[in-house]
């Protein structure tokens, strides 16, 4: 909870004012039963003895007015304090949500895999809501309930110590109940939230794959999957709720036993002349106040239990030190002079996602500045893994090889420095709800002319121009109002728009027809030739030989290892697998 206090610290001034107002309102509220008891015991009694009708009515009206003023003051103070508490809770939750989202974006891919996307979504939504609710409740009830409890006990002790001791005898049982229930509640709520993560995951998968589910008539199967996680969530939520639900009935039982005892002892004392009826009435009202205070404290413990579990989950993400940050010990990491023939360099790179099976094995190659690298191979051969390592989505452990760009080990670069060099388009990348131009620009300072130029190279300008709104055409979420080929051309346009130093296309033309694919490659080649410096280095992962035929260097991957390396003509002669792929696709005749 130290992290939560750090978020509360900037709002301490506002909280202090709100708490002061809350305390004032609560103290005024505590005075009401005492004034009522005084009216019954003193004023009415004196009036009955003196027979002073006019004076007695006047005194009753005066003290009744005092009670009305106190009631209104308590109402106003509580409303103002509650509104201030709501604003503080909102601002704290906003700050937590901001930092949590920022921390989520900074997680390395390995860390995000460990948390899982549904869990991160749940922490950003339901967990921040629980913390928001806890902060607000702690300011509203966390101050009021203890003051009512302690203040009520002090006043009742002053009114009648004997009745107070009778009432106080049930307090240890109530405290013990709250302690046991809240101690068991934290792990139960944590388990319930994990079950919620699992349900979010299934819902997310089914929402994304709704078309496939309908096409294959697998609704019943997916319904059964959902029922499993829904049942687990229901069971865990029921366990947590059942544990917490014990507290209110037990506390009510103890309070009712105490109330009966107070009334019984009070009746005996009134009959004996050692206590006044007005005192008993005050006592019953204070007992009601104390009962409500104890029930409020129970609610606080319930919300505190849930909020603590949520804050712990949030802190797991906030405290996760992003492996994106340069962690490599720079001692012994030598920067080589930049060499045009080895601008992008892999040196015996071996990597495993889980530390068991190597996903890449001793991969080595050098790519010249402005050159094109093609990577081809069967599914699961390690093609995308090479790209992930190049952009340091996953980091090569020290001692397992080196990746250099411009002679520098990429582990010595900051994420911003490294990734500012790249433009990337992946096969299943995302488009968000917005205009086509906004999706291509992607928040960067790119002019409309640059957007159009990128779209023209990516063969997207033609179809965009035919839309009624052109580049202002609104896309739906994930671009579902475009065809697969149109979406891929927009993604390639986005990658090209920033004039990247290194262009990465990860199977980004798989949905393009051969003619459009050939036109795209021709446009990229002509653009590179038109620029005197020819600075853009291109890395293409493809299943089509036609997409990489003109690459300066082609890697043929199999089970994480490079089994062929060279130009197209060299590989046709030296690599049987590459030759087989070329023959099977086009009989050796590559279309232009």
In tens, the pLDDT along 312-335 reads 889 989 888 654 444 444 444 555
Alpha helices in 107-245 (DSSP H): 109-115, 117-122, 128-159, 161-168, 171-208, 210-215, 219-245
Question: What's the pLDDT at 337?
Answer: 59
- Mean pLDDT for 432-444 is 89
In a domain, 199, yes or no: yes
Dist. CA 433–CA 441, nearest whole Å: 13
Least trusted range by pLDDT, from 50-59, 118-127, 402-411, 433-442: 50-59
Highest mean pLDDT among 36-50, 297-311, 404-418: 404-418
| pLDDT of res. 176 | 81
Indicate whether 171 and 307 sit together in one domain: yes
Can you tell me the distance from the alpha carbon of 376 to that of 259, in angstroms, rounded to the nearest whole number?
81
Residue 306 sits in the same domain as residue 436: no
Count of structural domains within the chain: 2
Instruction: Identify the CATH number of the domain in which residue 434 sits.
Output: 3.40.50.300
Among candidate residues 287, 318, 349, the one where a domain is terminated: 318
Angle between helix axes 128-159 and 161-168 (nearest 10 degrees) is: 150
Count Cβ atoms below 10 Å from residue 481 Cβ, excluding itself: 13
Say what the pLDDT of residue 507 is. Answer: 82
Residue 95: pLDDT band (50, 70, 90) is very high
CA–CA dist 397, 328 (Å, integer):
8
Q: Which one has a higher pLDDT value, 219 or 53?
A: 219
Tell me, rounded to whole angstroms, the distance of Cα 156 from its chain centroid. 48
Nearest-angstrom CA–CA distance, 218 and 443? 39
Residue among 145, 177, 170 at smallest CA distance from 262: 170
Identify the CATH number of the domain in which residue 127 sits: 1.20.1560.10
Asked whether residue 467 is assigned to any structural domain, the reply reads yes
User: Which range scores top for mean pLDDT: 73-82, 181-190, 523-532?
Assistant: 73-82
pLDDT at 327: 45
Q: Select the highest-mean-pLDDT range: 116-120, 147-151, 201-205, 343-347.
A: 343-347
Query: To 10 degrees, what angle do helices 171-208 and 219-245 make?
Result: 170
Q: What pLDDT does 93 receive? A: 92
Which long-range contacts does 321-324 make (Cβ < 8 Å, 24+ apart)? 322/103, 322/106, 322/107, 322/108, 322/111, 323/108, 323/110, 323/111, 323/395, 324/106, 324/107, 324/108, 324/392, 324/415
Residue 175 has pLDDT above 70, yes or no: yes
Asked whether residue 269 is assigned to any structural domain, the reply reads yes
Give 534's pLDDT tier (boundaries 50, 70, 90). Answer: low
Identify whether 87 is part of a domain: yes
Asked, for residue 249, whether it belongs to a domain, the answer is yes
Mean pLDDT of 32-41: 74
Q: Which residue has the higher pLDDT, 552 or 214?
A: 552
116 and 255 assigned to the same domain: yes
Percent with pLDDT over 90 in the chain: 15
The DSSP code sequence of 214-272 is HHTT-HHHHHHHHHHHHHHHHHHHHHHHHHHHTHHHHHHHHHHHHHHHHHHHHHHHHHH
The tokens for 262 are 């107070």
pLDDT at 452: 92
pLDDT of residue 554: 93
**Containing structural domain, residue 54:** 2-318
436 and 306 assigned to the same domain: no
Residue 430 pLDDT grade (very low, low, confident, very high; cuts 50, 70, 90): confident
Q: How many helices (H) and strands (E) does the chain have?
A: 23, 12
> In the structure, what pLDDT confidence band is assigned to residue 51 with cuts at 50, 70 and 90?
low
The residue out of 299, 318, 337 marking a domain boundary is 318
Residue 346 binned pLDDT confidence (cut-offs 50, 70, 90): very high
Where is average pLDDT lowest: 57-61, 62-66, 337-341? 337-341
Closest CA to 561 of 388, 374, 361: 361
Q: At what angle do helices 247-272 and 161-168 cross, to 10 degrees?
A: 160
Computed over every residue of the chain, the mean pLDDT equals 82
Average pLDDT of the residues in 247-251 = 75
CA-nearest of 444, 439, 433, 477 to 458 is: 439
- How many whole angstroms separate alpha carbon 451 and alpha carbon 562? 37
- pTM for the model: 0.69
> pLDDT at position 565, please?
92
Q: Are residues 82 and 228 in the same domain?
A: yes
Find, among 309, 301, 311, the residue nearest to 181 by Cα. 301
Share of the chain above pLDDT 70, in %: 90
**Which pLDDT value is given to residue 582?**
86
Cα dihedral 235, 237, 242, 243 sign: positive
User: Is residue 182 in a domain?
Assistant: yes
pLDDT: which is higher, 302 or 72: 72
> b vs e for 328-348, b when ≥16 Cβ sit within 10 Å of the residue's Cβ?
beeeeeeeeeeeeebbbbbbe
**Which of 318, 338, 370 delimits the end of a domain?**
318
- Angstrom CA distances, 229 to 117, 236, 310, 396, stand at 16, 11, 20, 36
3-state secondary structure of 108: coil
Mean pLDDT along residues 50-78: 77
Query: Per the domain annotation, does 463 fall within a domain?
Result: yes
- DSSP H or E segment with residue 12: helix 12-38
3-state helix, strand, coil in the chain (%, to 5): 65, 10, 25
Tell me: do 211 and 84 sit in the same domain: yes
Asked if residue 273 has pLDDT above 80, the reply is no
In a domain, 126, yes or no: yes
């Amino acid at each position: 909870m130290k992290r939560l206090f750090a978020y509360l610290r900037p709002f301490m001034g506002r909280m202090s004012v709100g708490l002061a107002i809350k305390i004032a309102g609560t103290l005024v509220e505590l005075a009401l039963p005492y004034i009522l008891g005084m009216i019954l015991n003193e004023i009415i009694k004196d009036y009955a003895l003196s027979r002073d009708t006019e004076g007695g009515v006047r005194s009753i009206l005066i003290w009744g007015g005092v009670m009305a003023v106190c009631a209104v003051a308590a109402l106003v103070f509580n409303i103002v304090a509650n509104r201030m508490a709501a604003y503080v809770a909102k601002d704290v939750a906003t700050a937590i949500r901001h930092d949590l989202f920022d921390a989520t974006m900074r997680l390395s891919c390995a860390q995000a895999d460990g948390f899982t996307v549904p869990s991160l979504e749940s922490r950003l939504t339901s967990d921040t809501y629980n913390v928001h609710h806890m902060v607000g409740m702690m300011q509203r009830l966390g101050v009021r309930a203890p003051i009512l409890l302690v203040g009520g006990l002090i006043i009742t002790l002053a009114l009648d110590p004997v009745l107070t001791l009778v009432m106080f005898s049930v307090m240890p049982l109530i405290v013990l109940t709250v302690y046991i229930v809240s101690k068991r509640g934290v792990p139960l709520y944590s388990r319930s939230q994990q079950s919620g993560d699992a349900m979010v995951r299934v819902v997310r998968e089914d929402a994304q794959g709704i078309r496939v589910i309908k096409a294959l008539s697998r609704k019943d199967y997916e319904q059964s999957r959902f029922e499993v996680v829904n049942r687990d969530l229901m069971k865990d939520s029921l366990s947590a709720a059942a544990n917490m639900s014990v507290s209110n009935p037990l506390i009510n039982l103890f309070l009712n036993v105490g109330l009966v005892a107070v009334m019984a002892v009070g009746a005996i004392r009134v009959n004996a002349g050692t206590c006044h009826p007005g005192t008993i009435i005050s006592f019953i009202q204070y007992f009601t106040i104390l009962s409500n205070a104890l029930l409020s404290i129970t609610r606080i413990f319930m919300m505190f239990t849930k909020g603590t579990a949520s804050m712990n989950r949030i802190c797991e993400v906030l405290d996760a030190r992003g492996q994106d940050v340069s962690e490599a010990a720079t001692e012994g990491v030598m920067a080589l002079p930049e060499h045009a023939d080895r601008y992008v360099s892999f040196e015996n790179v071996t990597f495993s996602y889980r530390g068991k099976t190597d996903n890449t094995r001793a991969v080595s190659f050098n790519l010249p500045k402005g050159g094109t690298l093609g990577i081809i191979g069967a599914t699961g051969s390690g093609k995308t893994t090479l790209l992930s390592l190049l952009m340091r989505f996953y980091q090569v452990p020290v001692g397992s090889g080196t990746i250099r760009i411009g002679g520098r080990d990429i582990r010595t670069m900051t994420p911003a420095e490294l990734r500012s060099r790249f433009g990337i388009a992946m096969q299943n990348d995302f488009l968000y709800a917005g205009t086509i131009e906004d999706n291509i620009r992607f928040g960067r300072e790119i002019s409309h002319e640059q957007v159009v130029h990128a779209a023209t190279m990516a063969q997207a300008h033609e179809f965009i121009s035919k839309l009624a709104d052109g580049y202002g055409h609104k896309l739906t979420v994930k671009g579902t109002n475009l065809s697969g080929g149109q979406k891929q051309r927009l993604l390639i346009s986005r990658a090209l728009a920033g004039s990247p130093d290194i262009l990465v296309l990860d199977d980004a033309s798989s949905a393009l027809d051969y003619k459009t694919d050939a036109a795209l490659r021709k446009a990229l080649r002509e653009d590179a030739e038109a620029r005197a410096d020819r600075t853009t280095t291109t890395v293409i992962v493809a299943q089509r030989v036609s997409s990489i035929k003109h690459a300066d260097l082609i890697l043929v991957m199999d089970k994480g290892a490079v089994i062929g390396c060279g130009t197209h003509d060299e590989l046709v002669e030296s690599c049987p697998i590459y030759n087989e792929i070329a023959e099977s696709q086009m009989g050796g005749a590559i279309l232009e």
